[in-house]
Structure 1
């Protein structure tokens, strides 16, 4: 077991998925704001020719304000962001629906030859995380959707009573069904803690024909001591998550080429969604419900899987975790991304896109799309030892609170 200070630092790093952005000038970026509509206005509108159902678009949704952002990929992605209403259990939202934000990069029609792809961001991040990878995939003929996970990104935050991991997976599954119909095969990819969400979605779906894990977290369940903290202390800890110093630290530890990528603008982009009304309450709700439980579901994902890992990932050790995924997944292959840290889709988007495109057009993935019969695995509740080495799940706040409690209580 590592000492407390090192453990805290490594755990902080794992949440960097939320903090990373991209190269920019070194000038200071002005504060970014989000225009908030006074009411939610959903209207029926059909987006996708291949979808079997009509989509309810949230016409009141205003895309993130990118004033002062120099990275064109971010500006373009924010402009294309939309939000739709998807059906959800009334235990999650009394209205029976929830607004899920996403970015759609349509496939190059001349090259379209693969299943649609869902991209899931990491812990407390947003679909802007895929602003560089999305266009690369679309140019290779892949219909690509970067989707915000309920409670994070720019999803609906008001009138929601449950932001648990189960609620997040239900909303994702509903998004898939709304866009593709109940029988269209798809592939899901997840980065960092988004890998846990992808594993849970893949194991709960009968139409998932492929899984892509990008420097993913999948072998540790829960969020550690944060789940048992009193709500006031949990709120205090969550507040730490959006602090600029912490985000800058995590940002710098996410990349191999720190000088080029770990910029102030990167921190600003990664923090934008945290400034929304309701973000703190949604985060506390998730943390206090225990987090994802992917470890027991990994071996149940029978679809072909691609494990991608940055060779120089300083947050999650690829030699340990990447190889462990290959051992436990029934049908998996591993590919390293060279000169790359924890975020291949941001640091090496072309190489990452090429690897994913090759996987999606492989014989194995295409074969899996026919007669997909993925097993649904029930949630296994396991007692987690207090000494478990937690990585991810927003544990930063919990660790900081533990230190505060030691010093002041």
Structure 2
């Protein structure tokens, strides 16, 4: 399975409430295989770093990438108050997208990072058209995530965490010094490739250019979650998921074993794969194995 991103068959905007959601689809629905709908992380990132997932379309699965509201090509709302940005908003947006694209009766979800939590919440509602779920590098509980961040921060090179905490305490997380120290963590636990791939950089810069959603729901960085998600957990919903589920993570992932384990343990029949040379983006760090694992799972759905 190649990991080269394909040119989208269609792309555009679909109405959502008074706003618009940007999407791109590679492949054509109705060919006998469900559409693979990809939910990006953040909250507040974009589809760009997941573009290579569109390569799975060569196997006959239409692939839908989209930018969640407030990000990328979708409507930006920098003046909305923090309380506007809720998981329920993004669940409604997903439902709307599935309906507008005509794929609500036959689809698979792949949620990466925050997108994995969002996809799992959707799946717990047991929608009739959902055929399978892939949860990649995602937290089931932000309280657990925050505890694990303390462990990872303590293991950073000497002096780095001290710089981070000083700026967090002073409210100067927008400083260049904080950004430089932040990248030490990111290069260890988010993307270990050097240099970072263009697709990953594109999403990273989108958050920098408009941090509205990320700041409201997450906070200033991956490891300093002080936004509205800081106490959110979906662990109690996971036993309600009734479709085949694949759980993915990297050995050096910021989504540590403790963060990811509930998906494997609480979703009935879930299968888990750990990518030994990856951190938070194994589709970029170990693409050959990632796409082989993904294709095997999707083929298994057809046999099930």
Instruction: Tell me, yes or no, if structure 1 residue 82 matches structure 2 residue 12.
Output: yes
Conserved in 1, the CA contact under 8 Å of 2:11 and 2:22?
Answer: yes
- The superposition leaves residues 190-228 of structure 1 with CA deviations (integer Å, 9 ceiling, x where unpaired) of 11222111111212334222110112211336997xxxx
Among candidates 267, 277, 286, match of residue 339 of structure 1: 277
After superposition, where does 1:9-158 map in structure 2 within 5 Å? Answer: 82-86=12-16, 96-106=17-27, 113-123=32-42, 124-135=44-55, 137-158=56-77
Give the whole-Å Cα distance in 2 for the aligned partners of 1:189 and 1:101.
17
Distance 1:362 1:337, change over 3 A: same
Task: Give unmatched runs, 5+ long, in structure 2.
Answer: 147-167, 219-226
Give the whole-Å Cα distance in 1 for the aligned partners of 2:144 and 2:274.
27
Name the Cα RMSD after superposition.
3.7
- The superposition leaves residues 342-376 of structure 1 with CA deviations (integer Å, 9 ceiling, x where unpaired) of 2111222332222222212215x665xxxxxxxxx
Task: Give unmatched runs, 5+ long, in structure 1.
Answer: 1-71, 87-95, 225-232, 368-409
- The superposition leaves residues 122-143 of structure 1 with CA deviations (integer Å, 9 ceiling, x where unpaired) of 11321011122212x1112211
Give the whole-Å Cα distance in 2 for the aligned partners of 1:157 and 1:222.
30
After superposition, where does 1:242-321 map in structure 2 within 5 Å? Answer: 244-245=179-180, 248-254=183-189, 257-259=192-194, 261-262=195-196, 265=198, 268-274=201-207, 276=209, 279-286=210-217, 289-290=228-229, 292-310=232-250, 312-318=251-257, 320-321=258-259
Distance 1:245 1:340, change over 3 A: same
> How many residue pairs get matched?
266
Secondary structure class of the residue paired with 1:125: coil
Distance 1:327 1:286, change over 3 A: closer
TM-score under structure 2 length normalisation? 0.72
Instruction: Tell me, yes or no, if structure 1 residue 218 matches structure 2 residue 140.
Output: yes
Give the whole-Å Cα distance in 2 for the aligned partners of 1:199 and 1:267.
24
Conserved in 1, the CA contact under 8 Å of 2:112 and 2:136?
Answer: yes
TM-score under structure 1 length normalisation? 0.55
Distance 1:283 1:308, change over 3 A: closer
Give the whole-Å Cα distance in 1 for the aligned partners of 2:234 and 2:68.
16
Distance 1:284 1:327, change over 3 A: closer
Instruction: Tell me, yes or no, if structure 1 residue 201 matches structure 2 residue 89.
Output: no
Distance 1:339 1:97, change over 3 A: same
Distance 1:237 1:149, change over 3 A: farther
